[in-house]
Amino acid sequence: MDITVRDAVTVVHGMFFGAVLLLTVSAAAMGLYATCTPTSHWTLSPAQHRCLSLYLAFVALLAWIAVLLGAYAVYPWYRAHPPAGVTDLSGYPQRLLMSNPSTTAWHDIGMEWKEHVAWFAPISLTVVAFLFARYGHHLYALQSLRRAVFSLVALAFLSACVAGFFGAMLNKYAPVRGGSTMVLMHSQAAHGE
Amino acid sequence: MGSELGGAVPPNGAGAAAVLGAAIGGLVLGILALAADAVTAVGGLFNIWNPTGPLSGVTSAAILAWLVAWLVLAHLWSGRNLDVRRVNFWATAMFVVGLLLTFPPFMDLLQGK
């Protein structure tokens, strides 16, 4: 059982940071709803406020790592140009998608949207972390700022969903693959058993 | 309901600055994404790291615009109480336009493709 370096980095980008981001944003939304709405009976202690502030900062950090890893590690492999004369485009995902009219839109719409919309998530989540750290004890009384917080969480979640969906679909039609191979586990047959 | 542990409610200006700053960053991201897609020379200008292409410059410039806008607005609004509903209205408008400008079919529509 082996995996190429490019596969591994793509998995870390999407299936680890991307998926964990979606889970943690959902949890952040519930945490904020439970503690910041006027009808909430949860009185945050200073320690709880600090803990939730750190959690929100961690969620924002996850989003930054996911987009930076995507833009500066995976995307260059995705958009790599094949040398002249190369006919096997399996190592050049963008060219592979664009070589077939039935898959061109996965690049033209999917990747073109994903590569930009994903950045709304870390920006929004950074502001959410700041707003909670600064106003967490008072958000129940600050209706407009509270609405801004929930809207920004929703924006981050939706943009991460769009990026995640298209990332998964693009990787089904044109996987980012190549580089050296890492052996994760030796099969029984390889040992002659 | 809520908490009295935090003392008096702090002025909302710093929060409003953070919200509007993020919206400005989102709007700039959309405008630059469109510009880099529509004008080859602009795309080349934003190609600050070749492996990632114009995306590297577009997103870096948008992040810079966001942080500068946040810093300037925070400097102007910290310690003040503002009508955050108005800030939210403009922030929503900027985010919607920014999102639309990153959506390829809308980009193509604007470019007459």
Residues of A in Cβ contact (< 8 Å) with B12: 135, 142, 144-145
Distance CA A8, CA A5 (A): 5
Measured CA distances, A173 to A105, A107, A166 (Å): 11, 10, 11
Q: Is residue A47 part of a domain?
A: yes
Select from B1, B51, B84 the Cβ nearest to the Cβ of A40: B1
Residues 6 or more apart in contact with residue A42 via CB below 8 angstroms: A34, A35
Q: Is residue A189 part of a domain?
A: no
Confidence of residue A193 (pLDDT cuts 50, 70, 90): low
Q: What is the mean pLDDT of residues B41-60?
A: 97
Q: Tell me what percent of the residues of chain B surpass a pLDDT of 70.
A: 94
Distance CA A90, CA A93 (A): 6
Confidence of residue B4 (pLDDT cuts 50, 70, 90): very low
Confidence of residue B2 (pLDDT cuts 50, 70, 90): very low
Residues of B in Cβ contact (< 8 Å) with A71: 52, 55-56, 59
Cβ proximity of A160 and A118 under 8 Å: yes
Instruction: Inform me whether the pLDDT recorded for A144 exceeds 80.
Output: yes
> Is B2 within 8 Å of A155 when comparing Cβ atoms?
no
Confidence of residue A164 (pLDDT cuts 50, 70, 90): very high
Distance CA B16, CA B11 (A): 10
Region of poorest pLDDT, from A51-55, A175-179, B54-58: A175-179
pLDDT in tens, B65-74: 999 999 999 9
Measured CA distances, A91 to A8, A81, A173 (Å): 15, 9, 12
Select from B4, B26, B88 the Cβ nearest to the Cβ of A144: B88
**B55 by DSSP, 3-state: which?**
helix
Instruction: Determine the residue among B1, B3, B56, B64 to mutate to test chain A binding: the one whose Cβ has the most chain A Cβ atoms within 10 Å.
Output: B3
In chain A, the residue whose alpha carbon lies closest to the alpha carbon of B67 is: A123
Residues of A in Cβ contact (< 8 Å) with B98: 120
Provide the domain limits for residue A149: 2-81+91-174
Select from B1, B18, B49 the Cβ nearest to the Cβ of A130: B18
Instruction: Please tell me the predicted confidence (pLDDT) of residue A192.
Output: 53
A73 has a chain B CB within 8 A of its CB: no
Domain count, chain A: 1
Phi, psi of B68 (to 5 degrees): -65, -45
Instruction: Residue A6: count other Cβ atoms within 10 Å of its Cβ.
Output: 20
Instruction: Please tell me the predicted confidence (pLDDT) of residue B3.
Output: 40
Confidence of residue B8 (pLDDT cuts 50, 70, 90): confident
Q: Is residue A28 part of a domain?
A: yes
The ipTM of this complex is 0.94
pLDDT in tens, A28-49: 999 999 999 888 888 889 999 9
b/e sequence A59-70, b meaning 16+ C-beta within 10 Å: bbbbbbbbbebb
Instruction: Please tell me the predicted confidence (pLDDT) of residue B1.
Output: 39
pTM for the predicted model, two decimal places: 0.94
B93 has a chain A CB within 8 A of its CB: no
> Is A136 within 8 Å of B99 when comparing Cβ atoms?
no
Burial class (CB in 10 A: 0-12, 13-18, 19+), A80: middle
Instruction: Please tell me the predicted confidence (pLDDT) of residue A23.
Output: 98
Confidence of residue A191 (pLDDT cuts 50, 70, 90): low
More confident residue, A191 or B52: B52
**A150 by DSSP, 3-state: which?**
helix
Q: Is residue A45 part of a domain?
A: yes
Q: Is residue A111 part of a domain?
A: yes
Instruction: Please tell me the predicted confidence (pLDDT) of residue A189.
Output: 62
Q: What is the mean pLDDT of residues A82-99?
A: 94
Q: Is residue A187 part of a domain?
A: no
Instruction: Inform me whether the pLDDT recorded for A72 exceeds 90.
Output: yes
Q: What is the mean pLDDT of residues A71-96?
A: 95
How far does B41 lie from chain A, in Å, by closest CA?
A: 18
